[in-house]
Amino acid sequence: MKYKLIISCVFPPEPTVSGQVMFDVATELSKTGKVKVITPRPTRPFNFKFDQNRISKVDFEHIITNSFTSPEMSLIGRYKESKSFGKWCFDYITKNHKDIELVYMNAWPLFAQEEIIKATKKFNIPCVTIIQDIYPESLINKLPFGKGIIQNVLLKKDRFILHNSAKVLCISDNMKAYLAKSRNLPLDHFSVIVNWQDENTFIKYFKDNADFKDETGQKPFTYMYLGNNGPVAGVEFLIECFVKAAVTNSRLIIAGSGSKKEDCENLARSLNAKNVEFISVPEGKVPHTQDIADVMLLPVKKNGAYSSIPSKLPAYMFSKKPIIGSLDIDSDTAKAIINADAGIVIEPENQEKLVAAMKEIASWHSDQIKEKGQNGYRYAMENFSKSGNLKKITQIIQNLEM
């Protein structure tokens, strides 16, 4: 019996949104046919303690590779990780190609993607490729030298990957338009499927806590960032702006782990910011954790929001919290917050404007804060729900099978 092969670089028990999305896809596709999933062993985020028992009964076969992994940010390490995972998948497809009817790929760019596409092209297996970020463009700015030569080499690889994919799934309209133009592909070669959140997790939380009343009295006005605290997150910037805003009876909670967590803790101590708190997020407790907040913070460094919508945005909206977005004003993420009327959007990396936004939102009446949160929730239900986006994916795959 032939089967659909899902290849994903992240997967539960890793607490990544794209990993959970791939789990949802595997679960959905296994309802109508045989599915196998290939992933590396869990490593993201760095230093996270994984609950290996999180996944109990599933209707698909999960194959974990012994490929090289590099959870810490290192260009050489990430290259080896991508190459190793790609080689493992190439060998698997080569050995089992007669039994594989379709490949659904969310692999490390660009080397793992290239190896997988070489295999699917060789054996004429349709491959649906998911693009989470635009490479090599997002990598080039991090390189100390040789940018032009390296970009030309890597861009050739990316064009090969996308041209030989049966369908390319993007996570934003801006990404779709840019890739179609820069890779010389028709727009209908791409479809936009956002990284969704499971709305039912949040719906259940609100239902279970409908009668809960906060009896703590004068709770501090709480700003929160929840997500991976890594090099591109800009959490240090949030801490500095929060301290400068000096909002009376307020606190900033940094929820989650990542390679920059220790640096941020040191920064908070150096600023004597005792009202900056660092907490972990237990598996499955995002709704509970975000419910502590009055306002969610979404910083994205300059030019960093054009290629995708951060996966934390749907989660923020599903928690019915207003958002301060510090990001490119004409990005899809900014447009989502503005169109939803779900908070405040300011230009990125502007300390003066973020400080002003923090002060402004703290002055809002509680009814206004609640209204903005509800606006975001309605927008997320219409655009970022698991149920709606899973239907789009299954339809794309069914069309390829016809």
Instruction: Give the CA distances from residue 148 to residues 13, 111, 154, 155, 175, in Å, rounded to whole numbers and listed in that order.
Output: 38, 18, 10, 10, 22
Cα 282–264–144 angle (5° rounding)?
A: 115
pLDDT at 121 > cutoff 80: yes
Length of the chain: 402
382 alpha carbon, distance to own chain's centre: 19
**Among residues of the chain, what percentage have pLDDT more than 70?**
95
Of 177 and 311, the structure prediction assigns the larger pLDDT to: 177
Mean pLDDT in residue range 248-271: 94
DSSP string, 278-309: EE---TT-HHHHHTT-SEEEEE--TT-SSS--
Q: Which of 209, 249, 284 is nearest to 12 (CA)?
A: 284
| Mean pLDDT of all residues in 179-195 | 95
Q: How confident is the model at residue 217 (pLDDT cuts 50, 70, 90)?
A: low
Check whether 54 has a pLDDT greater than 70: no
Q: What is the mean pLDDT of residues 202-218?
A: 74
Report yes or no: 325 and 298 within 8 Å, Cβ to Cβ.
Answer: yes
pLDDT tier at 216, thresholds 50, 70, 90: very low
Torsion of Cα atoms, 297 then 301 then 303 then 304, to 10°: -70
Q: Which two tokens stand for residue 104?
A: 């659904």
Q: What three-state secondary structure class fits 170?
A: strand
pLDDT of residue 215: 47
Half-sphere exposure of 14 (CA within 13 A, CB side): 24
pLDDT of 400 reads 86
DSSP string of 320-387? T--EEEES-TTSHHHHHHHHHT-EEEE-TT-HHHHHHHHHHHHHS-HHHHHHHHHHHHHHHHHHSBHH
Q: What is the dihedral of CA 110, 114, 115, 120, to 10 degrees?
A: 140
Tell whether the model's pLDDT for residue 105 goes beyond 70.
Answer: yes
pLDDT at 214 over 60: no
Q: Are 81 and 55 in contact (CB under 8 A)?
A: no
Distances in whole angstroms, Cα of residue 267 to Cα of each of 126, 261, 373: 49, 10, 30
CB 345 within 8 A of CB 310: no
Checking if the pLDDT of 188 tops 80, the result is: yes
Comparison of pLDDT for 307 and 336, the residue scoring more: 336
Angstrom CA distances, 244 to 20, 296, 329, stand at 37, 18, 23
- In the chain, what's the furthest Cα-to-Cα distance? 66
Domains of the chain listed by start with CATH number: 3-196+385-401 (3.40.50.2000), 199-383 (3.40.50.2000)
pLDDT at position 233 is 81
pLDDT in tens, 293-314: 999 999 988 887 777 788 899 9
Say if residues 304 and 221 touch (Cβ distance below 8 Å). no
pLDDT of amino acid 145? 62
Closest to 9 (Cα-Cα) out of 46, 41, 47:
41
Q: What is the pLDDT of residues 140-170, one digit of tens each?
A: 766 666 677 888 899 999 999 999 999 999 9
Average pLDDT of the residues in 36-60: 84
Query: Quick one: pLDDT band at residue 212, thresholds 50, 70, 90?
Result: low
Mean pLDDT of 49-77: 86
pLDDT in tens, 344-387: 999 999 999 999 999 999 999 999 999 999 999 999 999 999 98
The model's confidence at residue 401, banded by pLDDT at 50, 70 and 90, is: confident
pTM of the model: 0.79
